[in-house]
């Protein structure tokens, strides 16, 4: 079974621009979560999408947004880029069975390395 | 904030067992212990998880103390490719509560020849 794929793998943008990152989950997985990793803050949760709806949101400004399509693929968008948005953006997918005792393991993609100049 | 405490770094000789400790003294009864690792600049890789019983898979073993306040990840025969940052995470069983992993700083394991 193919893993989580993210495109593009590397991206260079300038301040003020906007960027869209894409994530394709593992086949059959219905939930997609996004994380940002920086040397200073480590790995931080951005948001989670399930059934095309945002289910959880981390503590990030409104410039960070996302969406999920009916095939569970997800995109995240960052508008008005700042230098501090330079980071590794990671996507993780899980099945999200909905069962109360399900642990629903998340599997991560390779990430998109965004550099803002 | 992360609910776990891990040593920032550890060394291990190649071929020996690597034992990575994790403290989670405030863990709740419905929270699982998860372990991930991240090799430099790659996405985190799932290793193993458990609730209260010890668990083993092809990658590692997870030993959880009886009071569940701490756990140890064991890599039985460490290789150079096991050099990575290892993250211990506690999270509630999902149900409909959604997915949100809270990562701490992890333990940087260096496997040396």
pLDDT score of B41: 82
* A45/B43 Cβ within 8 A: no
Tokens of B22: 């994790």
A37 has a pLDDT exceeding 90 = yes
pLDDT score of B100: 79
Q: How many CB atoms lie within 10 A of CB B49?
A: 18
Interface of A with B in 79-108 (CB under 8 A): 88, 90, 92, 94, 96-108
A·B CB contacts under 8 A: 81
* B103/A42 Cβ within 8 A: yes
Q: Using 50, 70 and 90 to split pLDDT, how confident is the model at A100?
A: low
SS3 content of chain B, % helix, strand, coil (to 5): 5, 45, 50
Along the 113 residues of chain B, how does pLDDT read in single tens digits? 678 999 999 999 999 999 999 999 999 888 889 999 999 889 999 999 999 989 999 999 999 999 999 999 999 999 999 999 999 998 865 555 556 788 999 999 999 99
Task: Report the length, in residues, of chain B.
Answer: 113
The burial of A15, by beta-carbon neighbours within 10 Å (0-12 exposed, 13-18 middle, 19 or more buried), is given as exposed
C-alpha to C-alpha distance for B74 and B72, rounded to whole angstroms: 6
Mean pLDDT score of chain A, rounded to an integer? 92
A97 has a pLDDT exceeding 90 = no
A16 has a pLDDT exceeding 90 = yes
Question: Residues B4, B69: contact at Cβ < 8 Å?
Answer: no
C-alpha to C-alpha distance for A52 and A66, rounded to whole angstroms: 10
C-alpha to C-alpha distance for B16 and B82, rounded to whole angstroms: 12
Q: Which of A28-32, A109-113, B13-17 has the lowest mean pLDDT?
A: A28-32
* Interface check A35 vs B, CB under 8 A: yes
C-alpha to C-alpha distance for A45 and B102, rounded to whole angstroms: 7
């Amino acid at each position: 079974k193919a893993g989580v794929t993210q495109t593009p793998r590397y991206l260079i943008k300038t301040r003020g621009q906007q960027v869209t990152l894409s994530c394709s989950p593992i086949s059959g997985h219905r939930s997609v979560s996004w994380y940002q990793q920086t040397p200073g803050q480590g790995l931080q949760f951005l948001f989670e999408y399930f059934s095309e709806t945002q289910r959880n949101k981390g503590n990030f400004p409104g410039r960070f947004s996302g969406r999920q399509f009916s095939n569970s693929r997800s995109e995240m968008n960052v508008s008005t880029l700042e230098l501090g948005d330079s980071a590794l953006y990671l996507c993780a997918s899980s099945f999200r069975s909905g069962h109360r005792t399900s642990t629903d393991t998340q599997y991560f993609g390779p990430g998109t390395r965004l550099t803002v100049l | 904030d992360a609910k776990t405490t891990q040593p920032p770094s550890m060394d291990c000789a190649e071929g020996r067992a690597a034992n990575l400790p994790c403290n989670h003294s405030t863990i709740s009864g419905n929270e699982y212990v998860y372990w991930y690792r991240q090799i430099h600049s790659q996405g985190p890789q799932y290793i193993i998880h458990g609730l209260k019983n010890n668990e083993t898979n092809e990658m590692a073993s997870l030993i959880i103390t009886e009071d569940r306040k701490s756990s140890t990840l064991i890599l039985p025969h460490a290789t150079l490719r096991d050099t990575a940052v290892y993250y211990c995470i506690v999270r509630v069983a999902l149900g409909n509560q959604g997915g949100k992993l809270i990562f701490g700083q992890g333990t940087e394991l260096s496997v040396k020849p």
